[in-house]
């Protein structure tokens, strides 16, 4: 006997226009998997990634060898920019020549934030950030503040929601050099008002840097149109780039030439193979590359982003909102009566692609779920984070996982 929610899930899955994308992913084979709810932390591998990696090893790397850097239609040397342009077009609302793939998110964040701080006019010596931003963002900015003698201005973010436009307006001013915020909060899934906050920061004469790790590939955005200065993001969450896949950085054209990143390596130099004395930045976005591009790591990124481009980020967002709505409905029916607290905004306009559920015993519940092949995330002290990646999560997965949580605590 299936209950009403199960029936709804069957109907929603049958009518899902993105349903066929699940077939493009590598199925879990060697370990039991009941429901994967961590696609917002490590996206699943695409079959195209597996094929592309095999192809790279046998043909590109295996046969072209070092000629792969310079020969053919798509020489590796250009991948930081060409894969960057693809991400810009498919996910960011960014015209070509402003997005680059390199480094990890942490390193790219350091490079862009340092560049912004170094270019700040005299008297602007504050960096604005929030207490609930992702740890690496806080640590990197603490380091830069120490390195450069800049002061940190902390916004006290509500951990169940996130940073509001008014909070930003209150702290920015003529002392502000840089503001760094996450588009989607990693814990609550709060979706910050990117166009409004960017405008407030620009009106104050400061530079805005967005961390897109939890929004790229699942929440549409228009970086160019909204006048964003800088952004960073990772490619292994909703872009399915694989564990440790390289990050991307966006530097708006109006900031290029004005900003100089601190890790000035040979691959970001003009004419690197001249091996000439002295560093001269390459023109445009290329100057934000430091060392040899991570080609092996970019193969799955390219496959994942091409898939997102085909599916369309607007269609992905539509399903994402329905998935989180459905999960919240199940929370209200099954979990709220058992004292589970929803730590995620109910307004879909202010919510990203995951939900967080809290109860004091959820650390133990989470361990039991993992043992049963239901794989959400745990966020200290008491939050189970349910990530609903639209290209791989079914409505049936939502019912299964919420029922398993209920059964553990009832
Ligand atoms: C996942 C994530 C990161 C990860 O940084 P790495 O350098 O790739 O480990 C950074 N910021 C946010 C907001 C994230 O969600």
Spatial separation of the C-alpha atoms in residues 104 and 297, rounded to whole Å: 11
pLDDT single digits (tens) 8-59:
999 999 999 999 999 999 999 878 899 999 999 999 999 999 999 999 999 9
Tell me whether residue 237 is one of the annotated catalytic residues.
yes
Q: What confidence score (pLDDT) does residue 122 get?
A: 96
Domain boundaries, the chain: 2-45+312-409, 74-310
SS3 for the chain is CCCHHHHHHHHHHHCCCCHHHHHHECCCCCCCCCEECCCCCCCCCEHHHHHHHHHHHHHHHHHHHHHHHCCCCCCHHHHHHHHHHHHHHHHHCCCCCCEEEECCHHHHHHHHHHHHHHCCCCCCCEEEEECCCCHHHHHHHHHHHHHHCCEEEEECCCCCCCCCHHHHHHHCCCCEEEEEEECECCCCCEECCHHHHHHHHHHCCCEEEEECCCCCCCCCCCCCCCCCCEEEECCCCCCCCCCCCCEEEEECHHHECCECCCCCCHHHECCHHHCCCCCCECCHHHHHCCCCCCHHHHHHHHHHHHHHHHHCHHHHHHHHHHHHHHHHHHHHHHHHHHCCEECCCCCHHHECCEEEEECCCHHHHHHHHHHCCEECEEECCCEEEEECCCCCCCHHHHHHHHHHHHHHHC
Do the Cβ atoms of 340 and 351 come closer than 8 Å?
Answer: no
Q: What confidence score (pLDDT) does residue 31 get?
A: 86
* Atom number of ligand 1 nearest to Cα 108: 7
Question: Which of 25-34, 95-104, 166-175, 327-336 is predicted with the least confidence, judged by mean pLDDT?
Answer: 25-34
Q: What confidence score (pLDDT) does residue 40 get?
A: 93
Tell me whether residue 111 is one of the annotated catalytic residues.
no
Pocket flag, ligand 1, residue 136 (CB < 6 Å)? yes
Pocket flag, ligand 1, residue 137 (CB < 6 Å)? yes
Catalytic residue among 302, 351, 385, 395: 385
Spatial separation of the C-alpha atoms in residues 100 and 277, rounded to whole Å: 25
Q: What confidence score (pLDDT) does residue 222 get?
A: 98
Spatial separation of the C-alpha atoms in residues 115 and 259, rounded to whole Å: 5
Query: Which residues are 281's β-sheet partners?
Result: 269
Pocket flag, ligand 1, residue 42 (CB < 6 Å)? no
Q: What confidence score (pLDDT) does residue 50 get?
A: 98
Distance from the CA of 282 to the center of ligand 1, in angstroms? 27
Distance from the CA of 162 to the center of ligand 1, in angstroms? 17
Pocket flag, ligand 1, residue 110 (CB < 6 Å)? no
Average pLDDT over residues 143-166: 96
Tell me whether residue 211 is one of the annotated catalytic residues.
yes
CA neighbours closer than 13 Å in the CB half-sphere of residue 38 = 19
pLDDT single digits (tens) 251-297:
999 999 999 999 999 999 999 999 999 999 999 999 999 999 999 99
- Domain 2-45+312-409 belongs in CATH node 3.90.180.10: no
Using DSSP's 3-state secondary structure scheme, residue 382 falls into: coil
* Atom number of ligand 1 nearest to Cα 133: 13
Do the Cβ atoms of 256 and 69 come closer than 8 Å?
Answer: no
Q: What confidence score (pLDDT) does residue 91 get?
A: 98
Instruction: Show the CA angle centred on residue 107, arms to residues 73 and 382, nearest 5°.
Output: 120
Pocket flag, ligand 1, residue 40 (CB < 6 Å)? no
Residue 1 has pLDDT above 70, yes or no: no
Average pLDDT over residues 185-191: 97
Spatial separation of the C-alpha atoms in residues 367 and 372, rounded to whole Å: 9
Domains 2-45+312-409 and 74-310 share a fold: no
pLDDT single digits (tens) 331-389:
999 999 999 999 999 999 999 999 999 999 999 999 999 999 999 999 999 999 999 99
Pocket flag, ligand 1, residue 126 (CB < 6 Å)? no
CATH of domain 74-310: 3.40.640.10
Residue 140 has pLDDT above 90, yes or no: yes
Residue 2 has pLDDT above 90, yes or no: no
| pLDDT more than 90, % of the chain | 97
Quick one: which H or E segment has residue 210? strand 207-211
């Amino acid at each position: 006997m299936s209950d009403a929610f199960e029936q709804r899930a069957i109907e929603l899955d049958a009518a899902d226009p993105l349903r066929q994308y699940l077939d493009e992913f590598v199925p879990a084979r060697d370990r039991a998997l009941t429901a994967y709810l961590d696609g917002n932390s490590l996206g699943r591998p695409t079959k195209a990634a597996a094929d592309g990696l095999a192809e790279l090893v046998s043909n590109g790397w295996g046969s072209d060898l070092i000629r792969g850097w310079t020969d053919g239609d798509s020489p590796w040397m250009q991948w930081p920019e060409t894969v960057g342009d693809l991400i810009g077009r498919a996910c960011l609302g960014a015209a070509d020549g402003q997005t680059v793939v390199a480094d990890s998110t942490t390193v790219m964040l350091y490079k862009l934030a340092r560049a912004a701080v170094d270019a700040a006019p005299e008297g602007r010596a504050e960096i604005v950030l929030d207490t609930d931003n992702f740890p690496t963002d806080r640590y990197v900015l603490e380091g830069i503040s120490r390195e450069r003698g800049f002061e940190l201005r902390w916004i006290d973010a509500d951990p169940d929601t996130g940073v509001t436009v008014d909070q930003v307006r209150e702290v920015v001013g003529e002392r502000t050099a840089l503001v760094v915020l996450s588009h989607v909060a990693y814990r609550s899934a709060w979706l910050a008002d990117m166009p409004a906050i960017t405008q407030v920061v620009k009106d104050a004469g400061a530079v805005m840097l967005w961390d897109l790790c939890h929004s790229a590939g699942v929440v549409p955005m228009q970086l160019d149109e909204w006048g964003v200065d800088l952004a960073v993001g990772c490619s292994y969450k909703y872009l399915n780039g694989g564990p440790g896949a390289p990050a991307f950085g966006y530097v708006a054209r109006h900031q290029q030439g004005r900003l100089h990143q601190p890790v000035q390596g040979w691959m970001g130099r003009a004419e690197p193979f001249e091996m000439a004395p002295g560093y001269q930045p390459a023109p445009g976005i290329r100057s934000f590359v430091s060392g040899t591009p991570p080609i092996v790591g970019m193969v799955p990124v390219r496959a994942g982003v091409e898939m997102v481009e085909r599916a369309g980020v607007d269609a992905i967002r539509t399903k994402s909102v329905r998935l989180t709505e459905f999960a919240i409905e199940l929370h209200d029916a099954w979990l709220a009566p058992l004292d589970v607290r929803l730590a995620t905004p109910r307004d879909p306009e202010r919510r990203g692609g995951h939900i967080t559920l809290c109860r004091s015993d959820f650390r133990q519940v989470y361990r039991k779920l993992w043992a049963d092949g239901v794989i959400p995330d745990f966020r200290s002290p008491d939050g189970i984070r349910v990530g609903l990646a639209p290209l791989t999560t079914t409505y049936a997965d939502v019912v299964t996982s919420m029922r398993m949580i209920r059964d553990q605590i009832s």
